[in-house]
Amino acid sequence: MNLKNANWSFSGENAKKFDNHILKSVPLYKEGHDLICRLSDFFLSNQSICYEIGCSTGTLLESLAEHNKAKSIKIIGIEIEEDMVNCAKSKLSSYSNVDVLCDDILNLELEKSDLIISYYTIQFIKPRVRQLIFDKIYNSLNWGGAFLLFEKVRGADARFQDISTALYTDYKLEQGFSKEEILDKTRSLKGILEPFSTQGNLDLLERAGFTDITTIMKYVCFEGFLAIK
């Protein structure tokens, strides 16, 4: 991993190692994929369009395509890192109904869709443009469509944040990361990974227009939200 101070990148070697690294770094990462696939049953039907924002190497896109293979749906991944896009396109080359776009979500005109997914992506986007993205997502969904948002979240206050940080550090040590690797990763993510609290994410969703929102998964500082238009 390329771990320079405040200079984390998802390109180059990091893209090639991403899948193995993230499975060890994020609790319930695979289980979150499985949950999203099960939730897609409630929102995707024939002729539906589904987006994933920040699709990385396309692992979740592949799972969604397999899970919904009996339906005639269109699945579109959006990813800004070209190396990630190349990995995703290689992985998904046999799926004619899956496309991966190398672009910034803010530059794209989204088609009307029934499901939009952001799986630990918004936390890496500058806070100043997050509301614009949430607004775009809300406006792009059909009525009754869903936004699945998974994020690392900050504690509600300093005490909870300290407890959360300590528990997550223990988790990473148990996954085999060394103290040096954990510290280097933390330093490399300064100013790049900027999670909001649970309430901060709820505020973004509500300002965009969502009123039906629930938490569907929670593990210490990792949380999944379901918001229905």
Binding-site residue numbers for S-adenosyl-L-methionine are 29, 54-56, 104-105
Q: Which two tokens stand for residue 131?
A: 């509301």
Query: How many alpha carbons lie under 13 Å from residue 72 in its C-beta half-sphere?
Result: 2
H or E element at residue 152: strand 141-152
Feature table: binding site: 29, 54-56, 104-105
Residues ≥6 apart with Cβ < 8 Å to 54:
78, 79, 80, 118, 119, 120, 121, 122, 124
CA dist list (Å): 58 to 53, 80, 204: 11, 13, 26
In angstroms, the CA 16 to CA 153 distance is: 26
Q: How many angstroms separate the CA atoms of 79 and 58, rounded? A: 9
CA dihedral 46, 48, 49, 52 (to 10 degrees): -90
